[in-house]
Amino acid sequence: MEVKIDQDYHIERDLVRFRRLALLTLHFELWMIIVALPHVCHSVDIYIPTKYDPTNEEFNPNKNNAVFQVPDPKKSPGMVVVWLKSGYTLHDRIIPPAEVGVTVSMESTKAD
């Protein structure tokens, strides 16, 4: 009988040690995630393209793709007035260009 009580004590003691070790391991892993999370978020933000809206800006063929022209006497020629499809930039590189409608002077439309 004496041996059985001693074994139960050792089993209970080992279970307590195991639980304590498991909690310490979990605590350490969670702490590492908390410490690393800001660095991971910053790294991910670097590789996310940003959307740009070229409306009411001067037409730039490197950033925009002109789909059609709009005669508008109120705005100067070469201004973006209609924004059809979004353009994106990644590290100042255009991927893909925005599709836009551009103003044209009234004289050029009368000549056509």
Q: Residue 52: beta bridge partners? A: 87
> If you ran DSSP here, which 8-state letter would residue 97 be given?
P
Q: Which residue has the tokens 């702490």?
A: 31
Alpha helix stretches (DSSP H) within 1-112: 2-46, 106-111
| pLDDT for res 90 | 86
**Residues 26, 58 within the same domain:** no
Domain region containing 19: 1-48
**pTM for this model (two decimals):** 0.56
If one counts the domains in the chain, the total is 2
Residues 40-93: pLDDT tens digits?
877 777 788 889 888 889 999 999 999 999 998 888 899 999 999 989 998 888
**Residues 77, 94 within the same domain:** yes
**Residues 24, 44 within the same domain:** yes
Residues 5-40: pLDDT tens digits?
677 778 888 899 999 999 999 999 999 999 988 888
| pLDDT for res 111 | 58
**Residues 54, 44 within the same domain:** no
**Residues 57, 107 within the same domain:** yes
